[in-house]
Amino acid sequence: MKVAVVGATGMVGDVMRTVLEERNFPVTELIPVASERSVGKKITFKNQDYTIISLADAVAAKPDIALFSAGGNTSLEWAPKFAEVGTTVIDNSSAWRMDENKKLIVPEINASELTESDKIIANPNCSTIQMVMALAPLHKAYKIKRIVVSTYQSISGTGVKAVQQLENEMAGIKGEMAYHYPIHKNAIPHCDIFEENGYTKEEMKLVRETQKILNDKTIAITATAVRIPTSGGHSEAVNVEFENDFDLTQVRQLLNETDGVVVQDNTDVNTYPMPLYANGKDDVFVGRIRRDGSQPNTLNLWVVSDNLRKGAATNTVQIAEYLVKENLLKARHIIS
């Protein structure tokens, strides 16, 4: 199993390598890929050194799987080139998510949609993944009518530059700015760029991707995304209105029975999800489960997950695991 990690030196690429190792994914040859300035450098995987190579050399190596986390432009240009040589690409950027010919996959929800012919597979946005993980079983039981979500997102979602900005500000050091404003002791209601409708791209991802993953364009969704000075883990306040009424005991049971979801909901002892404790874990944590008394059939949830793991790297690797388990990579050998 030849596995390329494209963007191997970035924050998500680094976590991808960690997750591949932790989950003992069957890698016989790792092909680390990064920008030209990193070519020739060494990285370590399973106590073995590997040399970073260029995208062109990686395509020539014809890996079985390529895990992409190198930005949308890189993916648009290079993912098809990998696919042409028979490699199955799992892309972590936004490049392919809303392409009607590409699958947008959260394995616990819709991996069964995948086939051998899917050579470019999209990994959803981090904030979308954790929300749909909590909502998918509830949608199946009660049918979602409308979602109002506010996110409180870690600086790690922006990247290394943002992490450095926070560290500099905490230390009183002037340095390069990832944001228009200081992030230390602040909350910035601006994640990604603004679109013409006044919403940010991050907010619209929550709308469009959720409808695609749950395969239901009738769900009304509105979002506000806020960047906060936490180093890892996104949090979401989710208000969801259903077509049908629900029982809170059954809601908790459905969530408890969902793979990858952990219920932390005991206010008697102040138990609820927080990014401090989700950091470094693969699960999606759900708490503050309560009925919205202002209107019928409406539920409030607090959802937290590590955005670099389940929100990115872990979900990507889980897609790869499903492809291996279901023998959906054999088409590559026919092509080559």
Distance of alpha carbon 162 from alpha carbon 136, whole angstroms = 32
- DSSP annotation of 38 reads G
Beta carbons of 292 and 298 less than 8 angstroms apart: yes
Residue 126 annotated among the catalytic residues of the structure: yes
Are β-strands 65-68 and 88-91 bridged in parallel, bridged antiparallel, or unpaired? Answer: parallel
Look up 191 and say whether it is catalytic.
no
Q: Which two tokens stand for residue 32?
A: 């680390």
Sign of CA dihedral 6, 8, 11, 14: positive
Minimal CA–CA distance to 146: which of 320, 298, 334, 282?
298
Out of 184, 190, 234, 333, which one is annotated catalytic?
234
Please, which residues bridge with residue 66 across strands?
4, 89
Report the chain's C-alpha Rg in angstroms: 20
Length of the chain: 336
Starting at the earlier edge strand, list the strands of the sheet with 29-33: 29-33, 2-6, 65-68, 88-91, 120-122
Catalytic residue (one of 126, 139, 180, 190): 126
Query: What one-letter code names the amino acid at 175?
Result: G
Residues serving a catalytic function are: 126, 234
